[in-house]
Structure 1
Amino acid sequence: MNDLQIDYFMAVATNLSFTKTSEELFVSQPAISKQISLMEKELGVKLFIRNNKKTTLTKAGELYYEFFREYKKELRDTMYKAAALQQQDPEVIHVGFMEGWDLAEILPEVLQRFHDKYPNTRLAIDCCGVKELTTLLLTDNIQVALTMKNSLTDFNELYQNTVATTRKLLIYSPANEHAGAPDVNPSDFRHEKFFAPWEIVGKMITRLLATYCEPYGFTPEIEFVHNSESVITCVRNNMGVAIVDDWVWCIHSPTLRYIELEAVDEICVTRMKEGVNEQTLFLTELLEDVVRSRHS
């Protein structure tokens, strides 16, 4: 049995769905099923009951779920204590943020205050898309994240605390035909292509973009590209437009222009509700405090 099998088991046990776990982890369902089968063979018990309608944990599966959840928590705590006692390499706590966000007003204070409290623990920064942030949280590859609250509606196992809001902006190139108009309106871009970063949750993104554009009387034509950087590159080169948060750094670039939309979304600090150590709890409260003080 290995860590990969344990991570797959914990993810399926949390979701109670092989299909949903496959989408979250970007791994094929047969690959996950194979690792679970190997795990069941080694343990000598069935972990899940599967039928056409749902997946549930067996009694043995429930026991192992509780065991591995405690195991991960105890392992993190033990690693931290051992490193502190022997002055070995410091423990690393991973904190995740949305890719493209301007964190210059947040990170310096967070890093300094965390170091003052835990000098033997290092913070590592991971920036990625909303779906990847959630997946990394659920698999314990990051411990705390600052992300969009609307991406966490289906995850009751995650602690979520709203700390700020973000205004939605429509960004476009100065070379766009509407750039020189005196009163640019979002409806002027109804015939433009709207770029968005590709996600497994494409249907959710499509629904959100339609909601943002609804007050202006149109449904956007959406083209998905690889990531947020690809979105910005396409817009800068006047290949279309995009809707972003007012937290992104790119809105300060002279190669882009933007107009505000009516839509406002919530930003929240999130982590697992259970099995977290002292450093993770402190980082959660610290991030909440700093973000609120900078964006109140």
Structure 2
Amino acid sequence: MPLSTTGELVAEAASSAGAVAAFNVITLEHIEAVIAAAEAAGEPVVLQLSENAVQFHGGRMHPTAAAAVSAAHRSDVPVALHLDHVKNEALLQDAADCGFSSVMFDAAHLPYQENVAATRKAVRWAHANGLWLEAELGEVGGKDGTGPLDAHAPGARTDPDEARRFVEETGVDALAVAIGSSHAMTSRDARIDNDLLHRLRLALEVPLVLHGSSGLSDQEIQRAVQGGINKVNIGTALSIAMTTAVRATLAADPSAVDPRGYLAAGRRAVTGTVTALLATVTTAASASLPVRSA
């Protein structure tokens, strides 16, 4: 199947008041597992390669992106490729040549006006090269080894009025909003600020993206989608699944040396995790859940 675009998948999900699931991948086993789960579910999916993952591969984006593109072409379901949390402009400008249809340009760590200027420049380049661009306002926290921000810390939550100005000033295609989740969480006890999400949805016409979704329970993810989230980013949950399975396999057989054994176990575990999360995300629009005030 030809590569889909992130913009198309997000727009289709939003048209039915739903969300598309986007999974961060690091290795070929991640890519294979995500697509296997998506095919079993019959659901579209976004494969995300982050700047951190590119650095893990020696700063070379092309080999992993090429593997993702090849797997997507052989998939029975729509698959799009997204470059996630990019700060490096050179990496951003390699995206169009690697099969990516979208980029999340990350300048949220900068003061507001600098964020606007950097993001506007990135948007202009992306649109000129046929790419859909996502940005972030507020700070989700938990990236690069930092802890989650306190809920009341300046910049920890996305302000609806500021978000409206930001979208108008930059021309972004989607906005990642800080509403209570955090990257790199290994527990699932984060809570979404539903009142804030409601105000953001009323203030903005662009699709809303939720980062740090691994730290949310299934019910919180469903509430977020029902509240207006159109793209749900998940990464750490996949790492937990793979590492747990690999660790258990090697503990059960300390003499094992063939990586195919423990990598196969890791891949199966990731497939199971993705299958469960796809069901959570894609059934959210039709689920009937009470809206909890934050």
Q: TM-score range by the shorter chain?
A: under 0.3
Quick check: which one's strand share is greater? Answer: 1
